[in-house]
Amino acid sequence: MFLVTNSTQVPFCFILNGIPGFEVFHNWISIPFCCLYTVSIMGNTTILAVIRTEPSLHEPMYLFLSMLAITDLGLTLTTLPTVMGVLWFGASEISFEACFAQFFFLHGFSFMESSVLLAMSFDRYVAICRPLHYVSILTNRVIRRIGVAIICRCVLAVLPPLFLLKRLPFCGSHQLSHSYCLHQDMIRLVCADTTVNNWYGFVLALVIITLDPLLIVLSYVLILRSVLRISSQVERLRALNNCLSHILAVLVLYVPMVGLSMTHRFAKHAPPIVHVIMANIYLSAPPVMNPIIYSVKTKQIRRGIFHLFSHRQLQ
């Protein structure tokens, strides 16, 4: 039996997989993937450039949006090399160390997305429920602390499962189901007791998939209660419209996340392509859709994009 641990002297690599059953069409399948990556990179880069160059957007809401764009950009750049490598060149091998590095950044940015959306819900709560104290509560210093707390939270969440998994032996097949290294996929290749890993993964999923959404829902319950106290219907609609982009971003993240989690936990014997499609939707939807959502629904961002490109054309 082929046995590998992190301390072995034998060179070891994982084998990445493209779209199972459609290997001969990988060159054609790469076209929509390439389009999605292009939209994600250009969209999130544009959002960051607009917020950076427009002084009027140097407000808490848009600073949190810039954090979301950085997270989406990081998620895209983490999966792009291996996905396009497999689809374009059939480069299916990835070293032991590179796979764990991708594991760290992929799950780290994924958890960071959830944390940033939670912070943005707090921003919307303060803006609508305590508008007179908005500036005094969400100062630049507080926002920086929230940013540092988000990074620390995600690093501390990802490092334990990484080290727990890395100390275990891998044996038999070293074929992964995806074009990137996911914890749920890698742990299937371990030939040892994974009880601790499974329980930690369960607790982590409980926190990320359950606690964060519950806190977001709680913030919107308080927001809705505050909005219903507003006498003017026009002001009510304006307040709710300010939250619409964030609500859509929350749905774009959590619906695929829950779907992927349920697929891995309760549909283990489903066709491999089901797992691959769910994972790709989970990792592709937020980076692609968030810039579109905020560009379409936020007037200040639309105006900033117009100013940015019109200024470049004048130059």
56: containing domain: 12-314
Instruction: Identify which of 171, 166, 169 has the alpha carbon closest to the alpha carbon of residue 183.
Output: 166
Q: Per residue in 138-177, pLDDT tens? A: 999 999 999 999 999 999 999 999 998 988 888 767 899 8
In a domain? residue 254: yes
Check: CB of residue 168 under 8 Å from CB of residue 118: no
Give the domain CATH number at 257: 1.20.1070.10
Q: Is residue 226 part of a domain?
A: yes
Residue 1 in domain: no
Could you give the number of structural domains in the chain?
A: 1
Residue 40 covered by a domain: yes
Name the pTM for this structure: 0.92
At 1 the pLDDT is: 42
Q: What is the pLDDT along the chain (315 residues), one digit of tens a residue?
A: 444 444 444 457 899 999 988 889 999 999 999 999 999 999 999 999 999 999 889 999 999 999 999 999 999 999 999 999 999 998 999 998 999 999 999 999 999 999 999 999 999 999 999 999 999 999 999 999 999 999 999 999 999 999 989 888 887 678 998 999 988 888 888 888 888 888 887 888 777 778 999 999 999 999 999 999 888 888 888 888 889 999 999 999 999 988 887 887 777 778 888 889 988 999 999 999 999 999 998 889 999 888 888 866 655
Q: Is residue 3 part of a domain?
A: no
Structural domain includes residue 110: yes
Q: 193 in helix, strand or coil?
A: coil
Residue 192: both structure tokens together: 């040892």
**Which is nearest to 114 in space by CA: 165, 71, 57?**
71
- Tell me if 2 is assigned to some domain: no
Full DSSP string of 125-192: HHHHHSGGGHHHHS-HHHHHHHHHHHHHHHHHHHHHHHHHHHTS-EES--B-SSSS--HHHHGGGB-S
